[in-house]
Amino acid sequence: MNVMASLLPPTATSTLQHNQLAICFSPSRPTTTSNNASFLTNHRLKINSVKCNAFFDQGLLESSVVSLDQFPGLMQFLRVTESLTDMQRWGYVMFGGLTWIYLTARPGVLVGAIDAYLLAPLQLGFDNLSGRRNLKRSDFVIGDKLGEGSFGVVYSGVLVPKNVNVDVEEWVQKRGRGKATQLDVKSKDKVILKKVKVGIRGAEEFGDFEEWFNYRLSRAAPETCAEFLGSFVADKTNSQFTKGGKWLVWKFEGDRTLADYMKDRNFPLNLESVMFGRVLQGVGSSKRNALIIKQIMRQIITSLRKIHNTGIVHRDVKPANLVVTKQGQIKLIDFGAATDLRIGKNYVPNRTLLDPDYCPPELYVLPEETPSPPPEPIAAFLSPILWQLNSPDLFDMYSAGIVLLQIAIPTLRSPAALKNFNLEIKNCGYELKKWRDNTRIKPDFQILDSENGRGWDLATKLVSERGSLRRGRLSAAAALRHPYFLLGGDQAAAVLSKISRSGK
Ligand SMILES: Nc1ncnc2c1ncn2[C@@H]1O[C@H](COP(=O)(O)OP(=O)(O)OP(=O)(O)O)[C@@H](O)[C@H]1O
């Protein structure tokens, strides 16, 4: 028996026609009724008659009548399920639930599809309209060379202000010097440019991948990496440009990488005011060191969790690829070696592009016998299985563990000491505890041993061989749940600093 119908005045129910629902708005929640009592009970529509009485005047009810024909999807669903048994209905619910779990499991088939088929074209259209994709050689003045990899050369540079209407070279000469870094430029105009090498095998492909990863991350996890401004192809050849050569451009995020800060004897205290906006008062220096180290690791692992959630493994996590911004944020750069294992982008079986000092013992992000990826939609559909079976994200987590050891143990910071560590840990079968008992370098474990050795415990769970089923090392999400990060003194100081910065 339809409870609601029994409460309705006869004139009210008689106005309802077949397939109509009357929606009665109670102050707390909406309720529904129909002119067909069995229809409602059959379909388990919830009825709340308790608070409706006061609203059952003829006028209100009539204005609330909604035809089910307006919801063809719902009608269809009701029609289809009407003839099903309870068992069959449960079957459908289970199937729907499992499909949902599969499509949303890491690395996110559903979100990935939305990104590829909706967000990426939207971003392209928006960038074209706003002129962001129309960068050209003459928009930039190239400055000092900052680094050179196998496939690219990195320069600092300046985005020439829009109101400068003269030829760029002339503009630079007028200012007196030929180097962008020596110009009086606003920091928002500072950029980083990567020239993709011309005529080097694989360089062009590398540049395309790096561009793709930067666009993808600018949509999926923009806070984790340097802001990508776009790319251009040089239209003429001169001292710096080669016609046809591709350039990638980022916002200049900061003067120094974590590796640069680590070279300083004062590390990690040289990062204290950058990260916390001030010197931490009333805290001893060893506690301050420990808080800074924890904040660095929290930021790195949080970024890794975000990129891993999108299916991307960076594959080159190291202090030189972590830029520290003026606001104390640590951003990942250099996605040239990254791979997107949701669709198999930049994944070539048996290819390893790594820095041996930070590379895990397994060397490859997936087992060597993993075949080349199938076409993207199929790869994407299968990707949750691949991630469950292989946990490729743990590749980056080993590198993060090495970074933790290096920043926490002063005698491991130099490249030579790190090489020596790598030899020793290999001889110890990648068991960090065994290494600690046997190493000849007399490390200082003070920072890792503070807070009941939580930092040390975390390090042993990152710097390790993979166990059975290719697990046995903490994922980024699991690492952030480790007791080391639970006491958030570093986080409190960082949040306070953010608040005071935004108040200025
Ligand atoms: N967005 C950025 N903001 C500030 N500095 C940056 C940025 N991107 C890169 N750099 C600087 O440029 C250097 C080289 O960049 P990157 O690592 O991407 O290039 P690379 O070709 O791989 O060079 P390398 O092999 O030397 O690392 C970095 O170490 C960093 O100092």
Longest dimension (CA), the chain: 93
pLDDT tens digit sequence for 375-398: 888 888 888 888 888 889 999 999
Give me the active site residues, please.
Answer: 316
Q: What would you report as the CA-atom Rg of the chain, rounded to the nearest whole angstrom?
A: 30
CB 43 within 8 A of CB 78: yes
Prediction pTM value? 0.78
* Residues flanking ligand 1, CB < 6 Å: 146-149, 152, 154, 192, 226, 250, 252-254, 257, 320-321, 323, 333-334, 336
pLDDT in tens, 97-114: 998 988 888 888 888 888
- SS3 per-residue string spanning 246-269: EEEEEECCCCEEHHHHHHCCCCCH
Annotated domain spans of the chain: 2-73, 86-127, 135-251, 256-503
Span 56-73, pLDDT tens digits: 444 444 444 556 677 777
Cβ atoms of residues 463 and 398 within 8 Å: yes
Q: Please give the Cα distance from 229 to 206 (Å, whole number).
A: 18
Higher pLDDT, 400 or 282: 400
Cβ(142)–Cβ(240) below 8 Å = yes
Specify the pLDDT at position 164.
63
**256-503 maps to CATH 2.40.50.100:** no
* CA-proximal residue: ligand 1, atom 27 (nearest): 149
In this predicted structure, the answer to whether residue 83 has a pLDDT above a threshold of 70 is: yes
| Position with higher pLDDT, 444 vs 33 | 444
Superfamily of domain 135-251: Phosphorylase Kinase; domain 1 (3.30.200.20)
Distance between Cα 479 and ligand 1 center (Å): 27
- In SS3 terms, 19-64 reads as CEEEEEECCCCEEEEECCHHHHHHCCCCCCCCCCHHHCCHHHHHHC
Mutate to test the pocket of ligand 1, among 146, 210, 218, 227 (most ligand atoms within 8 A of CB): 146
Q: Where are the beta strands (DSSP E) in 234-325?
A: 246-251, 256-257, 312-313, 322-324
Nearest alpha-carbon partner for 396 in 333, 323, 458, 307: 307
Given the DSSP bridges, would you call strands 228-233 and 312-313 parallel, antiparallel or unpaired? Answer: unpaired
ipTM score = 0.95
3-state helix, strand, coil in the chain (%, to 5): 50, 15, 35
Residue of minimum CA distance from atom 12 in ligand 1: 146
Give the pLDDT band of residue 257 (cuts 50, 70, 90).
Answer: very high
